A and B are shown apart, each in its own frame.
Chain A
Amino acid sequence: DAKTTQPPSMDCAEGRAANLPCNHSTISGNEYVYWYRQIHSQGPQYIIHGLKNNETNEMASLIITEDRKSSTLILPHATLRDTAVYYCIVRVGNQGGKLIFGQGTELSVKP
């Protein structure tokens, strides 16, 4: 699985968009980008995933660059409840189930 690089921490004002970057320059053609988040000591929560195209669901949007070497998770209107550690995970979509978590980005949403 490709290695990912995320900033250790970010701040965002409540109500503003939170843009969380992830670099995965060694990603292979069959590897997907997954995002999870973990609110303090709770179980990680699946957010979104994508292969090439941008994806959007009720929680967030995922923007993947054309060369697929980086991606951005966008929380359009961050709330205090979005304060969490966000993990970007790159893995082959149909090869085994385990998730390999890195250190993630600690997002603090401030009033």
Chain B
Amino acid sequence: DSGVTQTPKHLITATGQRVTLRCSPRSGDLSVYWYQQSLDQGLQFLIQYYNGEERAKGNILERFSAQQFPDLHSELNLSSLELGDSALYFCASAFSPLGGEQYFGPGTRLTVT
């Protein structure tokens, strides 16, 4: 158990819909990262927040957005969903905004039908 929690575990929705994925980091960690893992793209970095501020952006689509709240939990919002958005979405946390030692949650499996 990494100490990072993600909800929901599974999500099935239709194309065009909007969903919100939630992540609670390990106690004491200020940095939250979101990654997407699909069969054809592998694990891809989406976005990083540190202590409430956006820190780095990867190949995140404009239809996707995220935020980190004062209690440090984070939400990833996916809108206008397409079939290709079906993937595993992982959240990771770390104490430092710069370090490579990250702790991953169990993931949310999103299926868009």
A44 and B43 contacting across the interface, CB-CB below 8 Å: yes
Among B43, B94, B103, B104, the residue within 8 A (CB) of A97 is B94
Q: Which residue numbers of B lie inside 8 Å of A, CB to CB?
A: 2, 4, 31, 33, 35, 42-45, 48, 50, 55-56, 58, 88, 90, 92, 94, 96-107, 109
Segment of A59-67, A73-81, A88-96 in the binding face: A88-96
Interface of B is mostly: strand
Contacts A/B (CB < 8 Å), 17 sampled: A43-B2, A43-B104, A46-B101, A93-B98, A93-B99, A94-B98, A96-B55, A96-B98, A97-B56, A97-B96, A97-B97, A98-B45, A99-B33, A99-B43, A99-B45, A99-B100, A101-B44
Count A interface residues, CB 8 Å.
24
**Is there contact, CB below 8 Å, between B107 and A41?**
yes
> With A and B bound together, what is the CA distance between A94 and B104 in angstroms?
19
Chain B residues near A97 (CB-CB < 8 A): 31, 33, 48, 50, 55-56, 94, 96-100, 102
Q: Could you tell me the distance between the alpha carbons of A93 and B99 in the complex, rounded to whole angstroms?
A: 6
